[in-house]
Structure formats: C-alpha cells, structure tokens
Amino acid sequence: MKKYSKKPPRPPVRGVVFDLDDTLYLEREYVRSGFARVAKETERLAGVPESSVFGWLWRLFEEGQRGDTFNRLLEAYPDIAGRLRLDDLIEIYRKHTPSLETLPGVAQLIGRLQAGGYRLGLLSDGPLACQQAKVRSLGLDAFLEPLVLTDAWGREFWKPHRRGYEFIADSWSLDPNELMYIGDNPIKDFITPKELGWRTVRLRLPGQEKFQLEALSPEYAAETEIGDPAELKF
C-alpha cells in the first residue's frame, strides 16, 4: 500500500493585517463625503446650488458610474467649468476631511484580536492623501501598526505587489504561515499573500464595491469567506 506523507500542521496565526477600503469601513461613505465637499465648494466658487451638484454626483454613483464622474460634471455644468478645472475638483475630493465609521462588528473584532495578543496591521492602496485622511478619520493609528499605505512607495507597489506584505512580515519578524490578510477585493487582495504562505479571508458584505465580483480563478480567491466580522475563526 502506498503511503502518503501528511502535511505538517500550520502554526497558529500571530499577526492579522487588514485592507482598508470596504473592509474596515464602506468605501461608498468616503465617496459620499467627498462628493458633499465638492458640492459645497462648487456652490461657493461657481454659484451652483450645493444640493443640485451633490444630487447629480450621487445619482451617477448609484447608477454605477466610475472613473470620469468629474469630467461629466464639468460637461453638465458650464458655470462650474468656467471657474474650476478637473484637477481642482480632484484635489478638493482627495484632500477633504471625511467623517467615517468602521463597519458593524469591526471594532469588536479588533478588540477581540487585541485581547488575544495578536499583532495587527494595515496594508492599503489608493492615493496617499486620501488614505491618510481615512486613517485619521477612523483613528486606526491607535491600534494598527504598521500602517502601510503603498502609494507612499509609488503606484507600482500597489497590491498585488509583494513589497507591502513582505515589509509587514519582516517588521514583525513573523513567518508568513503565522500571518493572515483580511480584505474584500478578489482582483488583487489575496493572490500574493496566498503565494507567500499567508492565510487569507474575504469579508463580503452588501454595499461593498466588489460584493458581486467573483475571483477570476482559484489563485485569486481567499481561502475563507465570511459575511460578518464575528464569523472570523482561527
């Protein structure tokens, strides 16, 4: 009879790293906050009613429009285009101070992990000024260390690049098998940590931008999928 060697058991998790957008809070709330600021500034600088601009922007978002919303705004409102450029609108949006709250259950999960002695960190992509404002709004520096915002290194180091994952593992002096990454995006969040030996968890909730998105192949899928932070098990 042929004998098969058993894989050695994986060591227990000692460090948990979170994604930011649509994992610790809903990204749509940041978008809403940014649009509100843009609407306020366009009324002040171009005289277009704040409620009109915000309603127009939010309607496009709810319809699934992404990427060129401010271009469309300038086309739809000549009075704004006469006073503000595309770069002005982007700067207002990216540099605004948002008011954000963590998703239900996230604070309780972090408290549970802290009580259990786990190392906790953050690894997030996105324009640096935006991500820094989100971190400040959520008060993440009080309980996550390190806070790795990959745009500080340049866009070429955004996920799925290995640098952020390896940086955290090295800073904690932990083996990849002792680490877990929790995210929401099957396009880029899980393929690299899986290759490195990390455990991976997808938090999948209605309202997330990628809620309906399925992984392109098993390599891109998280090992575990949960619909509530309370479901996380080790």
- Joined together, the tokens standing for residue 165 give 């994952």
- Among the candidates 95, 122, 145, a domain finishes at 95
Quick one: pLDDT at residue 234? 77
Residues 108 and 224 in one domain: yes
The string of pLDDT tens digits covering residues 169-205 is 999 999 999 999 999 999 999 999 999 999 999 999 9
Dist. CA 106–CA 231, nearest whole Å = 11
Dist. CA 141–CA 148, nearest whole Å = 11
Residues 43 and 128 in one domain: no
Dihedral, CA of residue 30, residue 32, residue 36 and residue 38, to nearest 10: 70
Residues 91 and 106 in one domain: no
The string of pLDDT tens digits covering residues 140-166 is 999 999 999 999 999 999 999 999 999
In the chain, what is the greatest distance between 2 CA atoms, to the nearest angstrom?
Answer: 83
Residues 20 and 132 in one domain: yes
Q: Which domain holds residue 79?
A: 29-95
Residues 132 and 167 in one domain: yes
Give the domain CATH number at 161: 3.40.50.1000
| Averaged pLDDT of the chain | 95
- Among the candidates 40, 60, 95, a domain finishes at 95
Residues 225 and 114 in one domain: yes
Quick one: pLDDT at residue 198? 98
- Statement: residue 112 has pLDDT above 80: yes
- Statement: residue 168 has pLDDT above 80: yes
- Statement: residue 67 has pLDDT above 90: no
Domain-located, residue 203: yes
Quick one: pLDDT at residue 210? 96
Residues 121 and 210 in one domain: yes
Quick one: pLDDT at residue 10? 85
- Statement: residue 82 has pLDDT above 90: yes
Residues 59 and 129 in one domain: no
Quick one: pLDDT at residue 113? 97
Q: What is the pTM of this model?
A: 0.92
Domain-located, residue 8: no
- Among the candidates 95, 113, 135, a domain finishes at 95
Task: Report, as an integer, the average pLDDT of 81-95.
Answer: 96
Domains in the chain: how many in total?
2
- Statement: residue 1 has pLDDT above 60: no
Quick one: pLDDT at residue 201? 98
Quick one: pLDDT at residue 122? 98
The string of pLDDT tens digits covering residues 41-58 is 999 999 999 999 999 999
Residues 119 and 154 in one domain: yes
Quick one: pLDDT at residue 21? 98
Residues 146 and 217 in one domain: yes
Residues 108 and 77 in one domain: no
The candidate with the shortest Cα–Cα distance to 102, out of 27, 35, 159, is 27
The string of pLDDT tens digits covering residues 4-41 is 556 677 899 999 999 999 999 999 999 999 999 999 99
Residues 175 and 86 in one domain: no
- Joined together, the tokens standing for residue 197 give 């030996």
Domain-located, residue 85: yes
Q: What percent of the chain has pLDDT over 70?
A: 97
Domain-located, residue 63: yes
